[in-house]
Structure formats: C-alpha cells, structure tokens
Structure 1
Amino acid sequence: MGIILNLAILFLILLGIFTLYLLVFAIAGKVTNANTTTRTPKTQRKFAVFLPSYKEDKVILESAKKALIQDYPKALFDVIVIADSLKPETVAQLRELPITTYEVTFETSTKAKALNYAMAQLTEQYDIALILDADNIMATDFITKLNATFDLGYQVVQGHRTAKNTNSPTAILDAISEEINNHILRKGHRALGLSSALIGSGMAFDYALFVDVMSEINAIGGFDKELEMRLLKRGIVFDYIEDAFVYDEKVQNAEVFEKQRTRWIAAQFKYLKQNFASGVVHLFKGNIDYANKVFQALLPPRIILLGMLMFFAFVSIFSGDFNFKVLAWGQLVTLLFTFYISTPDFLKRLITWKEIMLLPSLFFRFIRAILKMGEAKKKFLHTPHDS
C-alpha cells in the first residue's frame, strides 16, 4: 500500500506541474491587457483569404458570401475557396460569387494539400495569407484589425476565434474549452512575452513566409501544429489580437466531439514525438518559445486533467494520508479556479446541470479518442458542420 501511495503522490506532483503552468498563464491573462487594434495602420496590405472546404456543402456558401463583407477595401482582399469533394451544384453556386474557386480531388485529402495547390495556382501578388475554416464567419472589421497589427512588425498573427453557436450542452462546453485556451495559451502567453498558440483558423501570415513553410508540410491532420513548430523553431513570434473576432461552429454532439478530439490528440502526440529532443536542445540555445510549445504538447487535455484530479481527490478521502489529501484537493481546487477565471462571464451564465452532467461522458470519449488516434494517422477525420 505504501508503494502505491508513493507512486500516486509522484504522479500528482507531475500533474501539479501542469496545473501550475495553466494557473500562471491564466493569472497573467487577467492582470495584463491583450493586444487590441485602436492604432491607425501606415500600410494597407493585400490579403489572400483562404477557405479550404472538404465536404462542407452545408456551410461553405454562407461562409464565402460573408467573407466578402469586410470594411476593408475590396480591391485589397481576395476570397479563395478550395472545393475538395463538394457537390457539383455547390461548386456551380460558388463560381457565381465574386471569389476564386479551385476544385480539387486528392487520393488522401488534407488541408495542407489544398492550401499548397491553391497557392501554386495564384498569379496575384499578396502580402498576407489569411486562413479560415469552411464554417468560419469573420467579423466585418477582422481584416482591418489584422492589417493594423502587421504594422508592428509581426509575421504571424492569430485572431480571436470564438463560438458562433451554443445550441447544445456539448457546444457550450466546446465554446468554454476554446475560450479557456484563448485566455491561457494566447492572451496569457502574450502577457508574459511568449508567442500565442495558433488554432488552425483565423490566423494570418506574411505571404512569402507562409508559402515557404507550407512547402515543407504535408500533414494528414493537425497541419497548424506542424506549422507552429516549424515557425517557432525559426524564432518567429506570433501575436494575438483579442478584439479581432472570427466565429467558429462548435461541435453539437458527443460523437462529433470524439472524432474531432481523436484528430487533435493524434496531432499532439505526433508533433511531441518529432520535436521533443530538439525542443530540449533549443531550450539551452535560448529559444524559449519553441521549447514552451514542445512542453505544451506534454499537457494532457484539460478534461482529462480535471478527471484525473477528481479521481485522486475522491481516492484521497479513503487513503488516510494527510499529504495525499492536501495535494489532491489543493490541485483540484487550483485547476477549477484556473478554469473559472479563464472563462468569460457570458459563458459561465450558460452552465447548467446538463453541461456538468455531460462532463463524465466527454471524459470517457476523450479516453476513447486517445485509444483510436491511430485512425487519424492514416486518414483525415473530417468534422462535419451544420450551421
């Protein structure tokens, strides 16, 4: 019993490192203002707005139409849809819009292939590449705010991706998860001088840089993770704009949630394995940003961390060991506090017993996602969107 208890305490100490890491950046995000865009830009850059769309017939037309509604000069941004496996009638409707549409078919479809194909076809000269998901809707001032931030000398800028729907308990929890990540991994990191995490969409890059780094990427899933690692390894800093919004559809049922997280976890493990050794080397070379990103890949998903701490807190009641109880309950309270201060008030008000009772189910779906992540190495696991 003594050996098991000691092992449990050692494991809790490891979890404590992760919990403390999240707490530090959550507090930093609270005490320091994030970058906003009240400045007047010196230059108006030309944007290529990419909308890769794989089997997204339900949402791509609305997204493409809404992408055209910006308060930025229309001559200075082009909307480019990459239509992968869309229905012929959808492609026909896209071609009626004042956008560029490329129809593609790949043996194995990936976002990286779609983007590389489109960039190889374009003849226009662009300053900025802006990447959206097929379901994303930009706020009308989104490009204007991105443009202003590039005046500060950044080559990579992440916008504030937020939920456009909270119409189910799963969607509410997904929206909360996204905002916690925004607060800790983006706002909190920038507050302490580290790069914002990228999120796969609502992100913009110096065009020449993006073309260059994407030529090295052919990831099946999680292309944004590989993009992060490669750019941070080069010493490039990513900014985050809290008041530049792009609205993203949150998953509305647990089955889709599991599929999406399977893809995400597979990417996390893959890039941790590929970058762990070089992350340690670059830490001693002074590249804290890259080493920090590798450490982030060690972090368990937030719901898994919460579930493990709840388990240990429950077990500690019967252990009879005071130190074990303090360690388990102290970490659980710390993590809950971290989540609380990282969640916007409007989302806190949406939490009911339905959302709380759903958490155990999502925990076990996360476990299943980990066990099934081998699927994501072989093919792209598509997350369907409805609205």
Structure 2
Amino acid sequence: MLLILLMIVQVIVAGYLLQPTILLALYGLKRLFTSGSSRKSGVEEGQRQFNFAAIITAHGHLTLVAPLIDSLLKQTYGRYRVYVVADACETVDLHYDDPRVVILHPQPALNAKIKSIDYAINHFVEEHDALIIFDADNLAHPTYLQVLNQYFNRGYRAVQTNMLPKNTDSLYARLDAAGNLYNNFNDRVMRMELGLSANIWGLGIAMETSLYKEIVYQNYLGGFDKKIQADIVKKIPLLAYAAEAMVYDEKVETGASLEKQRTRWINAYFKYFPYGWDVFYTGIKRGKFNLVYFGLNLLRPPLFLVLGAALFLGVLNLLVDPLMSLWWLGAISLFVLTFFAIVALMANDRRIFLSLFYLPGFLLRQVKALLKIKVASKTFLKTENSRVIYIEEVLNR
C-alpha cells in the first residue's frame, strides 16, 4: 500500500516538474511549423469603443499613485475613467482638473483590497463596460487600453494583461522578475497558445463589470485573485491573456521584502486550495479539459515546494529503488535547464538571466517564508513599495 501511495505521489510531482519542459517543447514545435501572425492593436473603423473603469486601490499613502495616473492619462485610447480609492490615507493630496480622474476617500477605512474595489464600483459616475484592477505601484503602457479594447472586441469577457518589471536594479528585483517571466510563460503565454484559460495576477486583470459583480466573496484578507479566477473561469469560455497590453509592477528589492511577500502568497495558496479542487471537479463533470487543466494548476504547489519534493523523493528512492533516484536526478537537472531556457527566452534584460545563478539564496528565502506562514493567517503582510518612477523612464530604459 505504501509503495502504491509513493508511486502516486511520484507521478504527481513528476508531472508538475516536467510540465514546463513539455510546454517549452510545444512552444518550439509551434514556432518551427508556423510562421506566426501579427495582431493589430489600433482602433479599427466600426469597432465598438468599450468604456473602461481603471480602479486603483491605494492603502495608507498615495506616494506611488501619481505616476500611475500620469501613465493612464497618456493613453492612446480615450474612453475611460480612473477611480482612485484612497483607503486609510490620512491626507489625500491628489487633485486633478481632468474629469477622467475620480478620487474616492472611504470613511471609515476599509482595510481590504476587495472592499476598495467594491467601493469604487458603487461610486462609478457612469456605466462602464469593463473594469481593470491596478495596484498603486503600477504603470500602464500608453497603448494599454487600446490593446484591451481590441481583445474585448474579439469577444473575450476577461483578459489578463502582461505584467513586466518596473525596476530591475537590485538582485532581488531581478530574481523576482525572473520568477514572473517563468510563470508568465507557463501559465499565460502557453495557455493562450494552446487555447486554454490563463491564470491571473492580482493586478492588470480586466473584465466585464457585470461579470465581476457575479463574484461573491466570503473572505476579505488576501488572495482575492484566487477567488476571482476560480469563479470566472467557470462562467466564461476562455480567460484570455494579452501579451501586448503591458502593465509595469514594482519588484521586491530586499530579502526581507521577498520573505514577507512570499509568506503572504504561500498562505493564500493553502487557504484557497479547495478552489482548485472545485474547478478540477467542475471540469470533470462538464467534460471540459480547459477547466480540468486550470484546476490542476491551481492545485500545483509553489515551485520551491515542487522542487523540494522532487529532491526528497530522489533521496528516498536511494532506499527503495536506486534507479529511480537517477531518474529524479535527471528530471531535476532537466527542470533547471528548462527554467533557465524559459527566462532566457522571455527576458529582454541580460541581467535578469544572470541573476539566476543566485537562485539558491532566493529559494532559501522562500523556505524561511514558509516557516512564517502562521503570521500571514492572522494579519495581512503588506509589501511596502517606494519607487517613484514615471512611464517615460521605464520606456526609455
């Protein structure tokens, strides 16, 4: 019985470990046999002009909001409004004559991102076809809304946009960016290539306003993106990914910030683990591979845990089946090579690739974050961001 259980565990871990290699191979084969096609991102004659609501959730201070508003006011697309929810901010010193910018200061403080989003929706000054959720430290590329309008015109009801690093001048920022590029390839780029629903980030997700209103929250402390994607992926044919719609996000710059961020993320994974089972089971009942695959990936543990499990199984098999230990050594080596290859493929900054040689320290920080998981279950561990950067600086970099 124990050997059967061990075999099942090994199959599951091996599947998650080899998944990126399979996806990279599929990516290469597709590029080999197809020439690809370019998509227009301009406003085409006769297309519907969707009315967007850009919701910015800020908590505690508004230091980073001005650059984001500036990037949104420089959009090449004109039909939108910006709603800034200044939650728990003692002073609100943002003043704009532009009617497209609406500043909201909820009283009493909401102290929850989900509540801030709902507050913005309840204070819309006009009806909006779709909404986009931003964090205060984000920046939007000038064509961001223009590209999104194209995707909604294609019939998509929810679109995750492309999150890129706003800052890459520290080692931890580059390692954080490398991890994002790797996950972006597996969970968004290749999903779109294969016609499957993409995972969302906690920011830069655009969806029909009516679709968002169908989501019913039962918990307001962290992990709201887990709830969003688990709900909407069952309601729509495809959760799309728009690589051309670029939003920039601040990366963590210190090991302490990384630990705090990862502690929050790991806690959210375990807290919302049942959602993965729900999506997986729903996919089985409906006979939808898209939902089955989505559910399996929601169940996938954080990458460092998958790698740790593979190492443990490799050592354990020295006692059970030494030949399997050699297989695990080969699988782990293949995974590492694949990880490097994916980051090299996705990165446009050589320094991000070179930072990968410091990954052991990055993984150690995540182990330390796991040991602090009880803290995240009691309070929201906010990652402090402080880099005031405007969109011109990012584009000229």
Using the size of structure 2 for normalisation, the TM-score is: 0.85
Residue 97 of structure 1: how far off its partner (Å): 6.1
- RMSD over equivalenced CA pairs, Å: 2.9
Counterpart residue number, 1:183: 185
Residue of structure 1 aligned with 2:66, choices 41, 44, 61:
61
- Is residue 2:88 matched to residue 1:85? yes
Using the size of structure 1 for normalisation, the TM-score is: 0.87
2-structure distance, mates of 1:282, 1:224? 20
- Is residue 2:379 matched to residue 1:379? yes
CA deviations 1:41-92 (Å, max 9, x no partner) are 411111111110112433112222222111112xx1111111012241xx12
For this pair of structures, how many residues does the alignment match? 377
Residue 333 of structure 1: how far off its partner (Å): 2.2
Q: 1:53 to 1:219 in 2, by over 3 A?
A: same
Residue 132 of structure 1: how far off its partner (Å): 1.1
1:39-54 alignment, distance < 5 Å: 40-41=43-44, 42-54=47-59
1:1-387 alignment, distance < 5 Å: 11-30=9-28, 31=30, 36-38=39-41, 40-41=43-44, 42-73=47-78, 76-88=79-91, 91-94=92-95, 98=99, 99-105=101-107, 109-213=111-215, 215-216=216-217, 218-277=219-278, 279-309=280-310, 315=315, 322-343=322-343, 344-352=346-354, 356-357=357-358, 359-387=359-387
Structure with the bigger RCO (C-alpha within 8 Å, sep 6+) is: 1
- Whether the aligned pair in 2 keeps the contact of 1:162 and 1:246 (CA below 8 Å) is yes
1-structure distance, mates of 2:318, 2:326? 13
Q: 1:349 to 1:65 in 2, by over 3 A?
A: closer
1-structure distance, mates of 2:292, 2:103? 39
Residue 149 of structure 1: how far off its partner (Å): 1.0
> Residue 76 of structure 2: SS of its match in structure 1?
coil
- Whether the aligned pair in 1 keeps the contact of 2:318 and 2:325 (CA below 8 Å) is no
2-structure distance, mates of 1:201, 1:240? 13
- Whether the aligned pair in 1 keeps the contact of 2:87 and 2:109 (CA below 8 Å) is no
CA deviations 1:266-308 (Å, max 9, x no partner) are 2222222244156324323223333323211322222333355
- Whether the aligned pair in 2 keeps the contact of 1:34 and 1:241 (CA below 8 Å) is no
2-structure distance, mates of 1:156, 1:4? 44
Q: Which runs of 5+ in 2 are unaligned?
A: 388-397
2-structure distance, mates of 1:195, 1:278? 12
- Whether the aligned pair in 2 keeps the contact of 1:45 and 1:127 (CA below 8 Å) is yes
- Whether the aligned pair in 1 keeps the contact of 2:17 and 2:307 (CA below 8 Å) is no
Identity of aligned residues (%): 27
Q: Which runs of 5+ in 1 are unaligned?
A: none
> Residue 233 of structure 1: SS of its match in structure 2?
coil
> Which amino acid is 1:198 matched to?
I
- Whether the aligned pair in 2 keeps the contact of 1:29 and 1:184 (CA below 8 Å) is no
1-structure distance, mates of 2:108, 2:374? 21
> Residue 382 of structure 2: SS of its match in structure 1?
coil
- Whether the aligned pair in 1 keeps the contact of 2:51 and 2:128 (CA below 8 Å) is yes
> Which amino acid is 2:324 matched to?
F
> Residue 162 of structure 2: SS of its match in structure 1?
strand
Residue 325 of structure 1: how far off its partner (Å): 3.4
